[in-house]
Amino acid sequence: MVDSAWLRRHKVTALAILAVAALYYATARLGLLQQLVRDQVTPLWPPTGIAVAALLLFGLRIWPGIAIGALAVNISIGPTTASVLAIAAGNTLAPVCSYLLLRRAGFRNDLDRLRDALALVFLGALGPMLISATVGSGTLVVSGALPADGFWPAWSVWWTGDATGVLLVTPCLLVLRQARWPRDVGLAGWAEAAALVVCTLTVTLLATGSGSSSLLFLVFPFLIWAAFRFEQAGAAPCALGVSLLAILAAGRETGPFAHHDLLTNMVTLQAFNGALSLTALLLAAVITERNRTHEEIQRLCVELARTVTEQGRGTRPGSPGQ
């Protein structure tokens, strides 16, 4: 007789795989709205961020959901069956490599340490996403869907999209997993959060609407504000929102992305998104570490004071036991 616990465990795994596949497909269709190369290469690919987050939360057993989602998306846009299989394999292998590298580095899903933020940037996003970009762009060139001189522009967009998905979507999902409705937050706290949202959106819209790429970096003071006051819960969504507006401007080739070729725009966008996510993740992690260290010191001081007080009472002249 089959163990009922075994059945329940595998039922949960199967449901999780189907959920990941559905989320991958749904967010991929949204990402394709900003396609820049051959109706399938986009500067923001949220499914990769979802895939890495799912692997970190559920483990390696969830990889079939990523493969199913990647196949379902590419079947309708891939040039040939062999190309679809190759691209889906690259899209699956890249987040799996991210997961293995992060686990090897001792990554913690709480993102409460500086080393975790650095690992997510370099081991989770920038490095492994070279796999999917190279496999995907190379497959399109080999299949004849792209000319040979279109490899590097397509590769730059592909790598930008996958890396941005990990840098921006994965932290938001990891933070959302442990999010709780804030308690004991007064009117001033809510007013500050609202002011942060309004100011960040306003400055980002002005920066992405201007013709100077240097104005993009006006958003960084607000990102620092979010990290200092709200830690990862504020910094990760703030970075995601700013990056989405920058990606929309790049897709329309307006503001700082006007009058440039595709490769130049992708280099600018990836530099901005990289600096944005690096600032958000690292600063929020440092602030979280500082706050936890401060709380631990306070706790130890209270315990030490209590111990000293109790020992003082125990050695007082005339006290019991003397």
Average pLDDT, integer, range 35-51: 75
11 or 24, which is more confident? 24
Predicted confidence (pLDDT) at residue 5 exceeds the cutoff of 80 = no
What pLDDT sits at residue 322? 42
What pLDDT sits at residue 211? 67
Q: What is the CA radius of gyration of the chain?
A: 24
**Could you tell me the CA-to-CA distances from 140 to 44, 70, 237, 298 in Å, in that order?**
19, 16, 34, 58
What pLDDT sits at residue 31? 78
- Rounded distance, CA 169 to CA 258, Å? 26
Residue at token pair 């602030």: 287
What pLDDT sits at residue 179? 66
- With bands split at pLDDT 50, 70 and 90, how would you rate the model's confidence at 1? very low
What pLDDT sits at residue 87? 93
What pLDDT sits at residue 180? 67
Predicted confidence (pLDDT) at residue 40 exceeds the cutoff of 60 = no
Average pLDDT, integer, range 105-119: 89
Predicted confidence (pLDDT) at residue 2 exceeds the cutoff of 60 = no
Lowest mean pLDDT among 20-24, 121-125, 234-238, 318-322: 318-322
The three-class DSSP label of residue 41 is: strand
Q: What six digits make up the tokens of 269?
A: 């966008």
181 or 90, which is more confident? 90
Predicted confidence (pLDDT) at residue 3 exceeds the cutoff of 70 = no
Indicate the average pLDDT of the chain: 84
- With bands split at pLDDT 50, 70 and 90, how would you rate the model's confidence at 166? very high
Name which of 86, 96, 100 is nearest 63 in CA terms: 96
Query: In the chain, pLDDT over 70 holds for what percent of residues?
Result: 89
Sign of the Cα pseudo-torsion (249, 224, 104, 174, in order): negative
Lowest mean pLDDT among 3-12, 97-106, 236-245, 312-321: 312-321
What pLDDT sits at residue 41? 64
Which pLDDT tens digit goes with each residue over 46-82? Answer: 899 999 999 999 999 999 999 999 999 988 777 788 9
Q: Bridge partners of 37? A: 41
What pLDDT sits at residue 318? 52
